[in-house]
Structure 1
Amino acid sequence: MIMRPGQQLLLPANPVFIWGSMLLALIFNMLPLGRAPWMPDLVAVVLVFWSVHQPLRVGIGAAFIFGLAMDVHQTALLGQHALSYTALSFFAITIHRRLLWFTVPSQAVQVFPLFIAAHAIELAIRMITGGIFPGWALLIAPVAESLLWPVVSILLLAPQRRAPDPDENRPL
């Protein structure tokens, strides 16, 4: 792949770190903070991040499993989060090559429609099955998830950053 000028070469991602960050996001979502409609879904943010940066390791199957775990935890309709996360992962993998050419703030703008679509899928399933409308505060969650994108990018790419002091034996 041709790199942009000034882009730093990253080390390979450690699979233990990838799956550990996914499990940590799942545990954070499962904290008993009370589930408000405006709260960002950290599993969705981390899932999109790894689907963009490591599409061969984290894909639609992992999204489905984490979605089922969230459904069971929240006692939601079985498959509600699973379908949402699966669609989210599919669309993230679809745009991953294009998305990596942009800066991190531009990436946040471009993943915003993905988060809106994921919440729309969850809301549609909830409403079709006779659930109540959670209110317009639901529109805050995709915005918060997009605002978390730069923070998650910095934190999850930190272990892959190379030493910034190249020398004659280590030109990269």
Structure 2
Amino acid sequence: MIMRQGQQLLLPANPLFIWGSLLLALLLNMLQNMGLWGRAAWSPDLLAVVLVFWTVHQPLRVSIGAAFFFGLLMDVHQGGLLGQHAMAYTVLSFFAITIHRRLLWFSVPSQAAQVFPLFLAAHGVELVLRMLGGGTFPGIAMVLSPVIEALLWPVASILLLAPQRRAPNPDANRPL
């Protein structure tokens, strides 16, 4: 793939870092659900943000199967309808894989604007499945969650790509 002017060359992603960041996001989601605000409708799904990030940047390592697995773990943790998060994360991962090549050509703020519909669709799938399963409507505050997740995209890009960044000024010890 041809790189854009000024784009930094990245080191290969460490698989341990990828899966460790996914497990950390899962744990943060679990802590967030048990925290002060509980399962507030507006709270962002950190696992969804990290899943989309790695699905876009490493689609061969993190794919739809991983999204389904982490979705089942979230369903078991929340004790809700089994398959609700799994289906939402699977749809999210599918659409992220669909746009991953195009998405990487844009700047990070533009990427955030383009992943917003993905997060909105995932929350829509989750809401429809919850309502079909006899759940209650969480309220209009649910619309804030995909907005917050899209705003977290630049933060995730900075934090999750940090270990892959090469030194900006090569010298005798860092030739690339």
Structure 2 length normalisation: TM-score?
0.95
Q: Is structure 2 residue 45 aligned with structure 1 residue 41?
A: yes
Per-residue CA distance 1:123-169 (angstroms, 9 max, x = gap): 00011111110000000000000000000000000000001112589
Task: Summarize the alignment of residues 17-166 of structure 1 with structure 2, pairs less than 5 Å apart.
Answer: 17-31=17-31, 32-33=34-35, 34-166=38-170
Amino acid at match of 1:78: L
Unaligned runs of 5+ in 2: none
Q: Distance in 2 between matches of 1:56 and 1:155?
A: 21
Moved runs in structure 1, 4+ residues, more than 2 A? 166-172
Instruction: Give the corresponding residue for 2:15.
Output: 15
Cα-Cα RMSD: 1.2
Kindly indicate whether the alpha-carbon contact (under 8 Å) linking 2:167 and 2:174 is maintained by their aligned counterparts in 1: no
Q: Distance in 1 between matches of 2:173 and 2:133?
A: 63
Amino acid at match of 1:44: A
Specify the SS of the correspondent of 1:30. Answer: helix
Alpha-carbon shift at residue 112 of structure 1 (Å): 0.2
Q: Distance in 1 between matches of 2:139 and 2:19?
A: 33
Unaligned runs of 5+ in 1: none
Q: Distance in 2 between matches of 1:38 and 1:24?
A: 21
Specify the SS of the correspondent of 1:12. Answer: coil
Q: Distance in 1 between matches of 2:26 and 2:172?
A: 44
Structure 1 length normalisation: TM-score?
0.97
Equivalent pairs counted in the alignment come to: 172
Kindly indicate whether the alpha-carbon contact (under 8 Å) linking 2:84 and 2:129 is maintained by their aligned counterparts in 1: yes
Quote the sequence identity (%): 77
Amino acid at match of 2:17: F
